[in-house]
Amino acid sequence: MKRFPKAFSLLFGCFLIANGISYFIRSDGHGLGQIHDGIRAAGFPFLVYEAGGVAGIKRFSYSALFENAALAFCISAYAAWLYSKRRT
């Protein structure tokens, strides 16, 4: 059971990094603000934040944020549990 916290932390951290990287992948101009009417968006796998565009939309979804966190927690916990049960 000593392996579980380490594996869980590593996998949950990977989900956090994926959410951060999604800002650069989903945004126009790769999140660097190079496009005047570019849309900025973030969230993996569900879209949490979106802003910009010609209409000037701005949207933040708490439900998507909760779903991303719940999905990351469940997948990380299950994978860490499988890893901790593995024999060496």
**Residue type for position 1:** M
Number of domains in the chain: 1
The CA distances from residue 12 to 9, 28, 29, 82, in Å, are 5, 27, 28, 15
Handedness of CA 34, 25, 18, 86 (dihedral sign): negative
Q: Does the pLDDT of residue 74 top 90, yes or no?
A: yes
CB distance 47 to 57 below 8 Å: no
> Is the preceding peptide bond at 45 cis, omega within 30 degrees of 0?
yes
pLDDT tens digits for range 25-62: 887 766 555 566 678 888 989 999 988 877 888 999 99
For residue 76, name the pLDDT band (cuts at 50, 70, 90): very high
Domain region containing 34: 3-85
